[in-house]
Amino acid sequence: MREFVDWIADRLAAGDLDALLDYRRQAPAATRAQPTEEHLLPLFVALGAGTGAARAERCHAGIDDYVIAMDAYAFTRSHEASPDPIGNSTKQGAQ
């Protein structure tokens, strides 16, 4: 279980969306850790709700009863100036 959740964390940190979307083939022990997808799909919903500038931060990592990963992520934007989808600056204080 730990190798799977660490792989997910590493791919999120690297911004490797292609590998994440292909996790069932690329992640170690993927089908054992996620026999069905419904428990991992909310991660993809949250990831998709962010923009290309979103950064994943693992807020909590743990495995309950040796079988249930309880990792939690926050998706935040960088504080650096970057255009939002309609081209406005997102730097704090910019108008």
pLDDT tens digit string along 22-46? Answer: 999 999 999 888 888 888 898 888 8
Residue pair 92/79 in contact (Cβ under 8 Å)? The answer is yes
Work out the mean pLDDT of the chain and round it to a whole number: 76
Q: Model pTM?
A: 0.68
- CA 42 to CA 39: how far, in whole Å? 7
Is the model's pLDDT at 88 over the cut of 70? no
Arithmetic mean of pLDDT, 56-66: 72
- CA 4 to CA 28: how far, in whole Å? 5
- CA 7 to CA 3: how far, in whole Å? 6
Helix, strand, coil tally for the chain in percent (to 5): 35, 20, 45
Is the model's pLDDT at 87 over the cut of 50? no
